[in-house]
Amino acid sequence: MRISPLIDRLIESLQALPGVGPKTATRTALHLLQHNREGARALAAALSDAADSVRRCRSCRTLTESDFCGICANPRRDAAVLCVVESPSDIVAIELAGSFSGRYFVLHGRLSPIDGIGPEELGLTELPAHVRSSGAREVILATNPTVEGEATAHYIKESLTGTAAEVTRIAHGVPLGGELEYVDGGTIAHALQGRRSVD
């Protein structure tokens, strides 16, 4: 339904947000205009400032507006352990888990020749030099357990053979609190394959 050109444009633009369709966009637009114009203006400014200034950390490639992100700039983060992830949101998930104190390297994707995404696009051509210069002793591959994520992990493992770092892969298996009965077959196969002796 058409409301007015400006409101229609706002509804259309709100659908750039992931998971927002026409209905949510309409409700959101009317809510902001009726009850929270200051919020709308603050969001507009935050969006345009971030879109203009956020770029990639010069060390780990995550998103930041500074030359180096907070983690790379933090001298207390252990440079000896480097965790390779597909995207900045993976860093958020790992940081929230709170048990990792090393550094990261963000691919911004995974190898996908069909989409024209090769090693260059993922920063993989710089990774061996990065591992050498950072003195990392261990590189943890935390790409997702999809076909492309596994292929990417495999590629990275190969490309790091010349370095001194041990290359490891995060464990994939039954999630905590997950019941075998409800876990998919692929996960169970992974969990069986990755079994460890009980000490």
Give me the residues that bind a second copy (CB under 8 A), please: 1-7, 9-10, 12-14, 16-19, 24, 26-34, 36-37, 39-51, 53-54, 63-66, 69-70, 87-89, 92, 95-96, 108
Instruction: Find the shortest distance in angstroms from Cβ 39 to a second copy.
Output: 3
Q: How far is CA 53 from CA 42, 49, 57, in A?
A: 16, 6, 12
Nearer residue to a second copy within complex by CB, 47 or 192 = 47
Nearer residue to a second copy within complex by CB, 69 or 82 = 69
Instruction: Find the shortest distance in angstroms from Cβ 185 to a second copy.
Output: 28
Q: What would the 3-class secondary structure string for 93-123 be? A: HHHHHCCCCEEEEECCCCCEHHHCECCCCCC
Nearer residue to a second copy within complex by CB, 54 or 192 = 54
Rounded CA gap, 181 and 188, in Å? 10
Instruction: Find the shortest distance in angstroms from Cβ 188 to a second copy.
Output: 28
Sequential DSSP letters for 65-82: SSSS-TTTT-TTSEEEEE
Rounded CA gap, 175 and 2, in Å? 47
**172 DSSP 8-state letter:** -
Instruction: Find the shortest distance in angstroms from Cβ 158 to a second copy.
Output: 26
Nearer residue to a second copy within complex by CB, 40 or 151 = 40
Residues pairing with 58 in the sheet: none
